[in-house]
Structure 1
Amino acid sequence: MTTIARIAVVVPCYRVRAQILQVIGAIGPEVGWIFVIDDACPEQTGDWVKEQCADPRVTVLTHSGNLGVGGAVVTGYRRALATPAEVVIKLDGDGQMDPAQIGRIAGPLLAGQADYSKGNRFHRVSYAQGMPALRLLGNAGLSFFSKLSSGYWQLSDPTNGYTAIRRELLTELELERLARRYFFESDLLYHLNQARALVIDIPMKARYENEPSSLQPMKVFWPFLLGHLRNGLRRICYTYFLRGFSVASIELLLGSILLVAGGGFGLWQWHISSESGIPATSGTVMLAALPIILGMQMLLSWLNFDVASEPRHPVHPMLRDRQTPTSQRD
């Protein structure tokens, strides 16, 4: 089977009137459906597309109020599920994502090799050339927290919005629970991990010219950080104490207790020593150091287990069998 009419593209639009027609015009014949989501754009991008675009694949959906990029993509996802599309691409309308890469992004999913794919602008140093320094720094700074919150330790460039997802995963996910603003892609990774989806990176070059961006890195840094910490805690509690309990769960729990207890005891003894002027004995130092050392060893062992437990096999075939009525199966 060819890739024609197996791919749908969702294009969230906000202040992209100057770029949107060029973006749509560059989408190749491998795409069967294009959903342009006007997220209450003050430039009336949706109306502009209706007036100027004659591509029969294009459907314009308009929000009466701004829901954010995540809200716009979820609207497109729901509409794409009404088509026979097997893979749904999220492509921004600002021109920073090359539509010629759609085949590369969707290819592994159409071949059944993965459940979700995303662009990676850091695969090579040269690929990130042209990316604003502030955005590059912020992306690198949040990368570790994204790995912790999502459980996908091998992924890079977590905020890359050039993504593809299998329809089986869209049916499985609770779309209404996904973040609606810029944290959308990062939050989606957390939910994909809970579904045990196989996620892969697709190397791509950064594409920054004169396109405007409504993303303000310093403004979203703290919401991103708090979102990652929240999701990380939720993932750890659910994975290691609710869904399953193993030796790694004991290592995480006991290691955390020993690290906190040793650190707290050491600080308390340091305070007493500084107040009295009497140096702490070697025995007291060991009482503080030993729990810290053991705690760190246990946490590192847990971390090794967590990295090794990243999903390795596509889950969509199993989901497809579960979602397909028995009467419709071969």
Structure 2
Amino acid sequence: MTPDCRIAVVIPSFLVRDQILQVIAGIGQEVGWIYVVDDACPEQTGAWVRERCRDPRVVVVTHAHNQGVGGATLTGYRHAIASGADAVVKLDGDGQMDPALILRIAGPLLAGQADYAKGNRFHRLAFTRGMPWLRLAGNALLSFMTKLSSGYWQITDPTNGFTAIRRELLAELELERITRRYFFESDLLYHLNQLRAVVVDVPMQARYEGEPSSLRPLGVIGPFLRGHLHNTMRRVGYSYLLRGFSVASIELGLGALLLLAGTVFGLWQWMASSDSGVPATAGTVMLAALPVIVGVQMLLSWLNFDVAAEPRLPVHALLGDRQSSQSDNGSTEKKNAG
């Protein structure tokens, strides 16, 4: 390990024994720590790495029970907190992510420009060549849902697992509250927004060479919808009621109420008119349409505010200063007690 190493890598491993050694071999000397997390893999990937890998940077951690990609990544994060790294990169072990891009992914964090970075396979049209059409369609839908639930409106490709996070944020996040299955990346974005972390996309091109994907789109539609709805309600309630009540909060609440009231009243009058055969008066139509129009305008105004409120200033420096201060205070207390 060279003195200027500032990056740690976490590799969650499940059914990747044939690819894992090549992935590790491709990791450059800019990385000082490599944590391979065997997520109760039936192929015993962890034992395979221990027996055949001679890289002194590698630490193998094995789960007794499968916890999902999120659970394996969080285990790696907990180990990385104790390292001296500034940025912790999550790299899948199936070979679809190029280890040569590690420095590019971690670059905005090391430069102090962001707190969290993620790959974006949709930055250029050419990047999507070879990508299965089902993934293209699914990511388009998931991108919008994630923007709404996380508050990060400028990001795309939310399920991209090639990520980097500042170590200071790992120490601040409530890791035990982050979901451990396929919703992990999206749920992490919600939790990062609560810390007001700056998130950026980094252009990258995925590699598809016939590796099987363990993600079954039809099987995760329900959990993803529930997760995004839950996080949207939590984010809106916390950001616009508890933490930052403002004019936008009034626009959101009143706009939703007017839209709902106008829609219900209009449907009620339409059904009444259909049953009686008597057309509704112009005044009745306007009485239903006006709340809908005003409600939509207010919701659009709130949406504009929400997009503009996306975090812009990195927080890792402030968190690092606070953590250092707490550590110093703890040391002082121990000395005084002694």
TM-score by length of 2: 0.95
How far, CA to CA, are the matches of 2:3 and 2:203 in structure 1? Answer: 20
Contact 1:9-1:34 within 8 A present in 2 as well: yes
Following superposition, the deviation at residue 36 of structure 1 comes to: 0.3
Q: What do residues 236-275 of structure 1 show as CA deviations (whole Å, max 9, x unaligned)?
A: 0000011121000000000000000000000000110111
* Other-structure match for 1:241: 241
Contact 1:129-1:206 within 8 A present in 2 as well: no
* Other-structure match for 1:9: 9
Secondary structure of the 1:310 match is coil
* Other-structure match for 1:61: 61
* Other-structure match for 1:131: 131
Contact 1:35-1:60 within 8 A present in 2 as well: yes
How far, CA to CA, are the matches of 2:325 and 2:204 in structure 1? Answer: 39
Following superposition, the deviation at residue 195 of structure 1 comes to: 0.1
- Report percent identity of matched pairs: 72
Matches within 5 A, 1:1-330: 4-325=4-325
- For 2:137, the aligned partner's letter is L
Q: What do residues 78-136 of structure 1 show as CA deviations (whole Å, max 9, x unaligned)?
A: 00111111110000000010000001001110111110000000001111111111111
Secondary structure of the 1:324 match is helix
Following superposition, the deviation at residue 326 of structure 1 comes to: 6.8
- For 2:117, the aligned partner's letter is S
How far, CA to CA, are the matches of 2:239 and 2:151 in structure 1? Answer: 10
How far, CA to CA, are the matches of 2:75 and 2:124 in structure 1? Answer: 34
Please tell me the root mean square deviation across aligned C-alpha atoms, in Å: 1.3
> Judging changes above 3 Å, is the alpha-carbon distance between structure 1 residues 253 and 47 closer, same or farther for their aligned structure 2 residues?
same
Secondary structure of the 2:159 match is coil
Contact 1:4-1:31 within 8 A present in 2 as well: no
- For 1:178, the aligned partner's letter is I
- For 1:26, the aligned partner's letter is G
Q: What do residues 166-203 of structure 1 show as CA deviations (whole Å, max 9, x unaligned)?
A: 01110110000001001000000000000000000000
Contact 1:273-1:279 within 8 A present in 2 as well: yes
* Other-structure match for 2:336: none
How far, CA to CA, are the matches of 1:104 and 1:327 in structure 2? Answer: 32
Divergent runs of 4+, >3 A: 326-329
- For 2:176, the aligned partner's letter is E
Q: What do residues 150-175 of structure 1 show as CA deviations (whole Å, max 9, x unaligned)?
A: 00000000110000000111011000
Q: What do residues 40-93 of structure 1 show as CA deviations (whole Å, max 9, x unaligned)?
A: 001100011011111110010000000000000000000011111111000000
Following superposition, the deviation at residue 4 of structure 1 comes to: 3.7
Contact 1:116-1:164 within 8 A present in 2 as well: yes
How far, CA to CA, are the matches of 2:286 and 2:3 in structure 1? Answer: 64
